[in-house]
Amino acid sequence: MDLNVVKTFISAAEFSHFRKAAERLYISQPTVTVHIKQLEKELGVKLFEREGKKIKLTEAGRSYLKHAKRLIEIYEEGITALQSISQGYTKTLKMAISPLIADNVLPFVLKQFLETHPQVEISVEIIESDEIEKAVLEERVDIGLSCLPCFSPELEQTLLFTDKVILVAPHDGRDFESAPPLEEEELLSSNYLLTHNHPAYWDYLCYTIKQFYPKTRMMKVSQTHITKRFITEGLGISYLPASTVRRELLEGRLLEVETKSFPMPEAKTFAIIKYQHGVQKELLRFMSRFRL
């Protein structure tokens, strides 16, 4: 079977129009017609029927479309695998990583891993922690790095890092040595608390803070890097994993505030896998050497 013919069929099905399919594929409209007739003859079924100037799939055409797409996917996966081998890669690893981990832990660790494992080709998909378990379970990725634990009995998880959560505020311009320390209660009463930038601990924190400081005004900001930007611009304060603000604290752009009213939660990083294959195990062993 000519795969170019199959690609023509898929494009015609997507556009419901031979001319638009021809434009997409950079071929003539008569060529599209020839390809479709060729495929219909080979399959022994009619794939399209006309509705005025447009076309629509027959029942047989709709049924074959999903198989045609999969056929092209398998072909392209094979080409990609061969290209990887020709470039010196002998192993591949698909990772799903939460935005928080990708922005914080991952760059340094991956750089170190790839320097010592040049034969491994890695692809990274950034998805939210609450979707990573499903991605691993459905085998769309080989390993997930998540801020949330998994609950599926088919999966294995490893606790990689535990990070303390701290209250951070914008630098107020005062001299660090001589100025009195910032007070948690005063900050919570005079600033917005930026919440839900981490998927694990904010339900607990919001409830607890309301018990101690019921007048606290809260603003949901879903991404950590946006939260940090808001804080430096004076839009609020937040409780963040210490590792995520390490640079900002060292550079003096943010200040850590001492907290005594209630116990602070912990931010955890989990590795989630379905199969203990060699490259997954090697990455887990490598990552276990690093601590935040």
Domain holding 249: CATH number? 3.40.190.10
Distance, CA of 144 to CA of 125 (rounded, Å): 9
Closest CA to 183 of 127, 275, 255: 255
* Mean pLDDT, rounded, for 225-229: 92
100 within some domain: yes
Is the same domain home to 263 and 176?
yes
Is the same domain home to 154 and 197?
no
Residue written as token pair 């890092």: 161
| Whole-number pLDDT of residue 174 | 59
Residue 173 pLDDT class (50, 70, 90 cuts) = low
Distance, CA of 16 to CA of 19 (rounded, Å): 9
| 78-115 residue pLDDT tens | 777 666 555 544 477 888 999 888 877 677 778 888 77
58 within some domain: yes
CB 159 within 8 A of CB 267: no
Q: Looking at per-residue confidence, does 105 or 50 come out higher?
A: 50
| 111-169 residue pLDDT tens | 888 777 777 788 889 999 999 999 999 989 989 999 999 999 999 998 988 999 999 99
Q: Which of 86, 106, 126 is a domain's end point? A: 86
Whether the predicted pLDDT of 291 surpasses 70: no
Query: Which long-range contacts (C-beta less than 8 Å, at least 24 apart) are formed by 185-189?
Result: 185/213, 185/261, 187/237, 187/257, 188/213, 188/216, 188/237, 189/213, 189/215, 189/216
* Mean pLDDT, rounded, for 170-192: 75
CB 28 within 8 A of CB 18: no
Distance, CA of 253 to CA of 170 (rounded, Å): 7
95 - beta bridge partners?
Answer: 124, 143
Is the same domain home to 156 and 166?
no
Whether the predicted pLDDT of 238 surpasses 50: yes
23 within some domain: yes
| Whole-number pLDDT of residue 89 | 43
| Whole-number pLDDT of residue 171 | 84
Buried b (16+ CB within 10 A) or exposed e, 53-79: eebebeeebeebbeebbebeeeeeeee
Is the same domain home to 256 and 280?
no
Is the same domain home to 167 and 257?
yes
41 is written with which tokens?
């003859």
Is the same domain home to 152 and 280?
yes
CA dihedral over 66, 67, 71, 77, signed as positive or negative: positive
What is the extent of the structural domain holding 24?
A: 3-86
29 within some domain: yes
| 273-285 residue pLDDT tens | 988 777 777 788 7
Is the same domain home to 258 and 273?
no
Q: Which of 51, 67, 86 is a domain's end point? A: 86
Strands 48-51 and 54-57, bridge-based pairing: antiparallel
Whether the predicted pLDDT of 194 surpasses 70: yes
91 within some domain: no
292 within some domain: no
Is the same domain home to 168 and 263?
yes
Distance, CA of 287 to CA of 105 (rounded, Å): 10
Q: What value does the mean pLDDT of the chain take? A: 86
Distance, CA of 259 to CA of 183 (rounded, Å): 8
237 within some domain: yes
224 is written with which tokens?
């950590």
Q: Which residues contact 290 (CB under 8 A, 6 or more apart)?
A: 105, 108, 109, 112, 161
Is the same domain home to 12 and 44?
yes
Distance, CA of 274 to CA of 281 (rounded, Å): 11
Q: What is the DSSP letter of 189?
A: H
Residue written as token pair 């071929």: 27
| Whole-number pLDDT of residue 276 | 76
138 is written with which tokens?
């459905």
Task: Tell me if residue 96 falls in helix, strand or coil.
Answer: strand
* Mean pLDDT, rounded, for 12-17: 91
Closest CA to 235 of 248, 220, 246: 220
Is the same domain home to 263 and 170?
yes
109 is written with which tokens?
């660790």
Q: Which of 86, 111, 134 is a domain's end point? A: 86
176 within some domain: yes
Is the same domain home to 24 and 72?
yes
Q: For position 60, which CATH number holds?
A: 1.10.10.10
Q: Looking at per-residue confidence, does 80 or 287 come out higher?
A: 287
Is the same domain home to 34 and 154?
no
Q: What are phi and psi of 148, to 5 degrees?
A: -120, 145
- Give Cα 267 distance to the centre of its chain: 18
Q: Report the number of distinct structural domains present in the chain.
A: 3
| Percentage of residues of the chain with pLDDT beyond 70 | 91
C-alpha dist (Å) from residue 263 to 24, 203, 227, 249: 60, 14, 22, 22
Q: What DSSP element (H or E) covers 153?
A: none
